[in-house]
Structure formats: C-alpha cells, structure tokens
Structure 1
C-alpha cells in the first residue's frame, strides 16, 4: 500500500494554509469584479488575473465560476442571517420592533459593502444564482414566520403573507441598492417595516 506524499511547508506556511490563502484571494477578487463590473464579469480567468494567480489555482478551489459565485452568495446570506439573529436578541416583545430590527439588519449588512450589495441585487438575473435566491426566500420566509411573527409556519395564510413580505422586501431593497429609490436608509427601513406590520396577521 502506497504512502500518500507528505505536503511540505514553504517559508513556515503549510500547504493547507497556502491553499486557504489563495482561496481567500480568489473570493476577494471575485467580489471586486462584481463591484466593478457586475456578476457577468466574473470568469475563472478574470478572477485569477485579479487575484494575481494562475487559472490552475482558481480550479484548485472552485470547479467553475458558478461555484465561486454561489460561494459568494452563501457567505453573504449567512452573514445576513447572523445579523438578523443578533438584531432580534434583546428586541422588545413587539412585532413592530422585531420587523424593524429584521429589516434594518438586512439593509445594514448589504449597505456595508457595495460589492456585496451589487451581488445581492444581481442574483435574480443569473441562472446559477436564481435558484439560490429562491432557496433564500424560503429560508427568510420561515425565519419571518417563526422568529419575527412567532406564528405557525404550517398556516397557509401566514405562509402567503411571509412569502409576499420577503419577496417584496428583497425586490425593494435590491432596487434601493441599485440607486433606483431616492430614500435614505432610515426612510427605507421605516417604510418597509410599516408595510410588514400592516400585513402581519
């Protein structure tokens, strides 16, 4: 039975750490390209060039550009969920306060990085990301029903309301991030929250 080759350290850095570092560079390069020219600008070659690496190292971390883009979206959506959970912790036991905290956490997380904001806004226009967007809508609808509205997620009327609020909020926030709505951040949060409260059962 053959013995697997021993991976050598280079300048005190293990092979695994070097791979991890290259992956991080590729992720940042992908985000930079999205921010500069949009999702369509992301290719294996453009990302590798932006990162100062060869395409061989791109394929070391990602099977293709869609896998990278999905990883970028997964990271973003994960951060949004964490931000919402943290915002809901300690929020007064009032549906209006919980809805407002949820909307603000979403908007603040996206607005913090213009690259990720553009990524979020363009997910609906890319085939590989549209499916992930739909999955995220389902996840956020469940979060809204259980953690924000504290209702029964099997209730079809509540499910309809949650889907409507989440899909509408996603569309509105995407347009705001793209500069299509002349509202301040506070105005956006207040208006979306008011609509959510009005629709809440």
Structure 2
C-alpha cells in the first residue's frame, strides 16, 4: 500500500469543491469551532481514525461559539481534502440542534447519535467515518465545517430529502441562508 500512496502523492482533491466553497454555504465566519482532542492544524489521535487502520472510528469532541439569533439548525460537514480523487471525500454530514452547544466523543455514531443529532449520508455511509488515508500518501487534512442555517432543511420524504440525498447533491441544493460558519482542520498521516 505504501507504493500506491507514493504513486498518488501528487494527486489531491484540494479545497475547490469543499462544502465551505459552495455558493449556497457562504456566510460570515462568526463561529469558532474547537475540539478537546486536537487543535486546528494538528494531528488527530488514532482513536478518531478508521477501524481498518486500528482506530476506534470515534467522532471527536466538538464545541462552538453561540450561533447568531435566528439559527434554526446547524449543518456539520467533515471532508478529507487530500484524498486522491477529483473532489474531497465526505466523511460525515449531520444536522445538529443549535441549542446543543457541543458534541461529545462518539456523538456522530450512525446507530446511536447524541440527542439533537441527525446523521445523514456521507461518501462512505451514515455517521462519522474517521481518517484512514492510503499509507505513504502523506498528511491528509480533515476539515470539520459547521454552518448555522436560518431555516431547517426540508424534511420532505422524496428523493431529495436530507436523509436520502447523496452528500454532494444535498450540499449543492442548500438554499437557506447561512447566518454564520466556522471550521476546524485536523490532520492524519499513515
């Protein structure tokens, strides 16, 4: 696997297609997103990594500053911007009650999410999927992005419903105003 990682070392998705840069998710950067488990730009502990690399696939603690008045829902998106694909890999998408103020470790578990958390589809499946980059590919950046939405996302049971939509389609279809946003980036390397 190390050879494959080295062969793909110059191929990275980059930030262009990151949720942060989508027109429908632009807004003022008023939220400060932090974690007890890692600081912005620092390595994420193995416990937050994927099970196939020896991790626990445990979503990290996250906390944020108070969202602005009028926030109806928070949207959390976690993406790997260094995956050797044309677009970042979506590792988690969740809708969060704005009154929660923080998420404890494991709060983004697909089977047992924390109160006030609704996990949606990601590139890999539902819930949080921790880092598991190709060995030898170099450091990967995992960007946790939090958006304060002025209205809840439509809960229509049709094919475009948040629970059924593919992550890229869902993110591209968001038209509700973003009142604030913030992000935190952790790294992981094998």
| Bigger strand fraction | 2
Which TM-score bucket, shorter chain as reference? under 0.3
| Bigger helix fraction | 1
- TM-score between the two structures when normalised by the length of structure 1: 0.27
- TM-score between the two structures when normalised by the length of structure 2: 0.28
